[in-house]
Amino acid sequence: MNQELNFKEICDLTTNVVGLPVGSLAYRNRSKNLQTARAIAGYIGLIEGNINRNIIALVLNRDRTATYHYERTHKKKLNKCDVYRNIFTKVFKKYKDLDCKKNMFTKGKHMKNYLLQQKVHESRNSDIKLEVVSGQAKCFVYTTYFDYLNQIENINIAMKNHHCKINII
C-alpha cells in the first residue's frame, strides 16, 4: 500500500513538472507528452523508488510489460532524445530534493515508540504481524485480521514524512 502512495507522489511530481493535469498519466492517450511523462515516472519509480512493477502498472493503467519497456529504453532515450533528457533531468532533480527531505529512523525501538504515539495500536491477540522498515531500522506491529487495514492506514499517515515500507507477515 505504501508503495502505491509513493508512486502516486512520483506521478504527481512528474505531471507538475511537465505541466499536465494531475492523474493524467493514467489516461489512455498516446500523446508524446503523456508517453514521455509516463516513461519517466515509471523509470524513477522502478529504479529509484524500488516500487513493484505491478503497482506501477496499476497506477499508470498499463500492463506490467510497459515497465520493462520503460527500463529498457531509458538509456537510449536519455542519449538520443533532447525532450526526454530535459524532462527527466528536471523531474529527477525535484524527486531527489523531495526524497532528501524525508526522514529515516536509525533504530527500530524509536520507530515503534513513534508509531505508538501516532495512534497506531497493537493487539494482544494478534493474527497478523506488520513489518515496518525505515532505512536500516525495523519494527513489528501486531494486529488482528479485522483491524490490520486500519493499522496500515495509520502507519501510512504517521510515516508520511519518512522513508517507509510495510510488509504483511
Same structural domain, 7 and 86: yes
Q: What is the pLDDT, as a whole number, of residue 4? A: 87
Q: Please state the domain count of the chain.
A: 2
CATH number at residue 11: 1.10.1750.10
Kindly report the pTM of this predicted structure: 0.70
pLDDT tens per residue across span 114-144: 999 998 999 989 999 999 988 788 999 999 9
Three-class secondary structure assignment of 123-149: CCCCCEEEEEEECCEEEEEEECCCCHH
Residue 56 has pLDDT above 90, yes or no: yes
pLDDT tens per residue across span 61-77: 999 999 999 999 999 99
Same structural domain, 26 and 81: yes
Same structural domain, 60 and 130: no
Residue 100 has pLDDT above 80, yes or no: no
Helical residues (DSSP H) of 65-105, grouped into ranges: 65-80, 82-101
Q: What is the pLDDT, as a whole number, of residue 116? A: 92
Same structural domain, 152 and 117: yes
Of 101, 118, 146, the last residue of a domain is 101
Rounded to whole angstroms, how far apart are CA atoms 169 and 155?
15
